[in-house]
Amino acid sequence: MISEEMKAAVGRELRRSVSFPIAESDIRRWAIAVYYPEPPPAMFWDAEEAAATVHKGIVAPEEFNPFAWMTADGPRAGARQAGNDPGSTEKQLGITPPGLRNQLNGGVEVDYGVRMRPGDVITSVTRLASYAERSGRLGPMLMTVFEDTWTNQRDELVKRSRMTLIRY
């Protein structure tokens, strides 16, 4: 199932996005929503309390997404266009898709680096990390792994996630 063309595409960049600068109010509203109905920890909204923490200031929750609304490049139209097309990754790379009809989320692994802070600008780079074949009850399956790396304006790692897409 994995063609030479697909093997050669491993490691290629699929998408790059840059966030708007993160505002304190973005962090505060995110934390309020995540912790509702309980109040969020003070390190997400109270500058004085946050200064006394190990972070020495307001930080965002690790799951904060500075791309949730829009990127500095504009709306993320490409993500919407792909829809549920099991061949969209290969089409985006300009190579022949494997011809599979179905897909499902095979899971996500996340490693966190430095915390996001007010004023940070985050860059997300998504790459095709790997392909693997497996056999399943419904026949051959193609496991496709994508790696999304977020860095801040100081080029410090903020987050690295690996998402597996199962196609059959």
CB 44 within 8 A of CB 60: yes
DSSP states along 82-121: HTT-TTHHHHHHTS-------EEEEEEEEEE-SPP-TT--
- Sketch out the chain's domains with CATH numbers: 4-22+72-167 (3.10.129), 23-65 (no CATH)
The model's pTM: 0.88
Per-residue confidence in pLDDT tens, the chain, 168 aa: 899 999 999 999 999 999 999 999 999 999 999 999 999 999 999 999 999 999 999 999 999 999 998 899 887 654 555 567 888 899 999 999 998 999 999 999 999 999 999 999 999 999 999 999 999 888 899 999 999 999 999 999 999 999 999 999
- Looking at residue 29, its pLDDT comes to 96
- Looking at residue 84, its pLDDT comes to 77
- Looking at residue 85, its pLDDT comes to 84
- Looking at residue 86, its pLDDT comes to 86
Tens of pLDDT along 152-166?
999 999 999 999 999
- Bridge partners (DSSP) of residue 141 are 134
- Looking at residue 69, its pLDDT comes to 85
CA distances to 30, 88, 106, 112, 141 from 109, in Å: 22, 22, 10, 10, 20
Q: Which two tokens stand for residue 93?
A: 């790379």
- Looking at residue 132, its pLDDT comes to 97
